[in-house]
């Protein structure tokens, strides 16, 4: 089976483990920045110190070369860490990642690689296979989850827990519905993260503002290093605005959920 088998149909694919020699610089880097990722949930992209954010990216990008070679049709635009402290009751609710490209022309990917074994007790990912086909409307920081009124049903009948071993990466289509639970274990749960966009597409960023008539999105073409120093949720200070329009999301019905892969639905409803 090829590493990316299932990505188109399911919206995610588990990749081969990162080689042992590639883990060494990542572990050393994490040891040097772990104190900056304390306090419940924290991610490198959320840090105020943009020098640290750039330094982390510049170290991680070459360390992930084994994986990015498998993903040669995409290029990484931001690499970092995400951490949940031990005993952290800070679940990440169901969501889609923000839009980084023209998704009518190709999909961006999120890479998620735990540095220790993950399962239900320490905040592993849960995904809804096939859900990347349900909403392709542009998403900015702050955009509400398109299926928030169906969260309980998705969790009960359609989501799958991705229990992974240490250094076992998964890539997901950024449109895929996913979440992670609390870390109720006695150890921190650091993961390596990266956002990758199609090699032939420019990077985009969408900014959301609230007006009298509702939310409005502005779209920007931005340089590849934009996410290394931009504060999410702020209007970009660089890049080219290519338009503004009322925020929308695709209508997701109960009938649409029946189009999700039946093998996973069966597993969840009969298990």
> Which residue range forms the structural domain that includes residue 90?
7-270
User: Could you tell me if 191 and 64 are in contact, meaning their C-beta atoms sit under 8 angstroms apart?
Assistant: no
Task: Answer left, alpha or beta for residue 50, where phi above 0 means left and psi between -120 and 50 means alpha.
Answer: alpha
Measuring CA to CA, which residue among 128, 78, 143, 83 is closest to residue 108? 78
- CATH number, domain with residue 130: 2.60.120.620
CA dihedral over 162, 167, 173, 174, signed as positive or negative: positive
> What local confidence, expressed as pLDDT, does residue 268 receive?
41
Identify whether 1 is part of a domain.
no
Indicate whether 87 belongs to any domain: yes
Domain count, the chain: 1
pLDDT of residue 262: 59
- Compute the Cα dihedral for 101, 103, 106, 109 and give only its sign: positive
Residue 269: per-residue pLDDT? 37
* pLDDT computed for residue 88 by the predictor: 81
Nearest to 73 by CA among 23, 130, 7, 134: 7
pTM: 0.93
Sheet architecture: strand order including 170-173: 12-14, 170-173, 109-114, 189-198, 74-84, 41-43
Looking at residue 246, its pLDDT comes to 95
Residues, the chain: 271
Give the sign of the dihedral formed by CA 204, CA 257, CA 3, CA 270: positive
For 133-149, write each residue's pLDDT tens digit. Answer: 999 999 999 999 999 88
Question: Given this model, what pLDDT does residue 191 score?
Answer: 98
Distance (Å, whole) CA 78 – CA 110:
10
Task: Give the single-character DSSP code of 205.
Answer: E
Helix then strand count (H, E) for the chain reads 7, 13
208 within domain boundaries: yes
Residue 168 included in any domain:
yes
Q: What percent of the chain stands above pLDDT 90?
A: 80
Q: What is the Cα–Cα distance from 229 to 45, expressed in whole angstroms?
A: 8
The token duo for 172 is: 């997901």
Distance CA 56, CA 68 (A): 17
Q: How far apart are CA 107 and CA 126, in angstroms?
A: 20
34-93: pLDDT as tens digits: 999 998 899 999 999 999 999 999 999 999 999 999 999 999 999 999 999 998 877 889
Say if residue 198's pLDDT is above 50. Answer: yes
- Is 49 within a domain? yes
Q: What is the mean pLDDT of the chain?
A: 92
Closest C-alpha to 226, from 200, 199, 206 = 206
Q: Which two tokens stand for residue 154?
A: 């998705």
Task: With respect to residue 155, please indicate whether it lies within any of the assigned structural domains.
Answer: yes
Q: Assess contact for 179 and 126: CB atoms under 8 A.
A: yes
Contact 223, 240 (CB under 8 A): no
User: Which residue in 267, 271, 264 sits closest to 6, CA to CA?
Assistant: 264
Q: Domain for residue 2, yes or no?
A: no
Per the domain annotation, does 222 fall within a domain? Answer: yes
Q: What is the spatial order of strands in the sheet that 178-180 belongs to?
A: 92-95, 178-180, 125-127, 160-162
């Amino acid at each position: 089976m090829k590493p990316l088998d299932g990505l188109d149909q399911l919206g995610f694919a588990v990749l081969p483990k990162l080689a042992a020699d590639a883990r060494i610089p990542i572990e050393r880097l994490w040891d040097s920045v772990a104190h900056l990722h304390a306090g419940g949930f924290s991610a490198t992209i959320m840090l105020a110190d943009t020098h640290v954010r750039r330094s982390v990216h510049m170290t991680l990008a070459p360390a992930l070369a084994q994986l990015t070679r498998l993903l040669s049709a995409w290029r990484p635009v931001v690499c970092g860490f995400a951490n949940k402290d031990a005993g952290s009751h800070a679940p990440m609710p169901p969501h889609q990642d923000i839009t980084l490209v023209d998704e009518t022309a190709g999909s961006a990917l999120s890479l998620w690689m735990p540095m220790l074994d993950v399962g239900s007790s320490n905040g592993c990912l849960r995904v809804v296979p096939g859900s990347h086909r349900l909403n392709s409307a542009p998403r900015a920081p702050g955009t509400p989850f398109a299926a928030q009124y169906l969260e309980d049903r998705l969790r009960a009948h359609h989501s799958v827990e991705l229990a992974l071993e240490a250094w076992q990466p998964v890539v997901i289509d950024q449109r895929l519905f996913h979440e992670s639970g609390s870390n109720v274990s006695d150890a921190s749960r650091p993961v390596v993260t990266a956002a990758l966009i199609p090699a032939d597409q420019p990077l985009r960023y969408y900014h959301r503002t609230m007006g009298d008539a509702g939310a409005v999105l502005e779209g920007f073409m931005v340089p590849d290093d934009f996410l290394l120093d931009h504060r999410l949720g702020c209007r970009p200070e660089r890049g080219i605005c290519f338009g503004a329009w009322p925020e929308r999301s695709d209508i997701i019905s109960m009938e649409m959920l029946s189009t999700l892969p039946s093998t996973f639905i069966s597993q969840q409803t009969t298990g």
